[in-house]
Structure 1
Amino acid sequence: MILLDTHIVSWLAFEPENISKKAAEVIAQARLVGDGLGIADMTLWELAMMVSRGRIQPTVPLESFLREIEANFIVFPVSASIAARSMQFTAAYPSDPMDRVIGATALVQGMSLVTADRKIQASKEVPFIW
């Protein structure tokens, strides 16, 4: 199983051409063999914010869009372990709380994070695919 960063979920739905060839192959393989694709629960909130700010425009009402995302991904809630781990990143890791929760989710669940975020990649604190 792999964990997808919020922008990857958005790109899958609206701009798949933005996803790197390697990431697209890993995502397709995870779907094919049934390993599954995971997201942090905060990704649902971030997607809702993207819709409310007009950055993405689903063709269905917001709640229907979010329910469709829920149905197609394994959603990992913030646990005590994830919350605690999100506070243990170094200064090299992005300070954005959502990035920290998503990164901590990947670490606690033992998954690689599919992300194009260069700051996350440069920190080398979370195994990533891009």
Structure 2
Amino acid sequence: MNYLLDTHAILWVLFQPENLSYTVESEILNQRNRIFISSISLWEISLKFSLRKMDLQGITPEQLPKKIREAGFEFIEDSPEIFANYYKLPTGKHTDPFDRFLVWQAVSFDFVFITKDRYLKEYNPLGLRLFW
């Protein structure tokens, strides 16, 4: 199965694994699954870090790609088409641009989206599959 991690899930995997559900941790550790990370999440983390809204426990955002790769995760290879077709995602109640783009990527790549954010279920009719 192919999974995309939400930004908070990335941070929890790396820094606070006790926050993960048992089922999420099991799927992440399952060698048959591929776990993907979006560069959009790194942008979100970097932005919040620069605004001092996030603590990365002694590391800086530029160290995250290496840490993520060492954890065995892969980065999504985005294409201009994914960005150009983002307008097709209906505007819903959820207005966070980072979350909305991650939803669009999960739908576009047919990935299961690992997130604790249940408000995103409004996108299930578009094909979004949530897991927690």
TM-score norm. by structure 2 comes to 0.80
Q: Which residue of 1 aligns with 2:131?
A: 129
Is residue 82–residue 108 contact of structure 1 (8 Å, CA) maintained in 2? yes
Determine the C-alpha separation between the residues in 2 that align with 1:47 and 1:91. Answer: 23
Q: Does 1:46 align with 2:47?
A: no
Matched, 1:91 2:91: yes
Q: In 2 relative to 1, CA 15–82 (structure 1 residues): closer, same or farther, beyond 3 Å?
A: same
**Contact preservation (8 Å) 1:112, 1:128:** yes
CA distance in 1, matches of 2:67, 2:21: 24
Structure 1 residues 3-14: aligned runs within 5 Å: 3-14=4-15
Provide the rounded CA distance (Å) in 2 between the counterparts of 1:81 and 1:103: 15
Structure 1 match to 2:16: 15
Q: Match for 1:79: what amino acid?
A: S
Distance 1:41 1:100, change over 3 A: same
Unaligned runs of 5+ in 1: none
Find the aligned partners of 1:92 and 1:65 in 2 and give their Cα distance.
31
CA distance in 1, matches of 2:97, 2:59: 28
Runs of at least 4 residues off by over 4 Å? none
Q: Is the 8 A contact 1:38 1:73 kept in 2?
A: yes
Greater CA deviation, 71-80 or 100-109?
71-80
Q: Normalising by structure 1, what TM-score?
A: 0.81
How far 1:122 moved relative to its partner?
Answer: 4.0
1:113 and 2:113 are equivalent in the alignment: yes
Secondary structure of the residue aligned to 1:56 is: coil
Q: CA deviation at 1:77?
A: 4.2
Which ranges of structure 2 fall in alignment gaps of 5 or more residues? none
Kindly tell me the number of residue pairs found equivalent between the two proteins.
127
Q: Distance in 1 between matches of 2:85 and 2:8?
A: 22
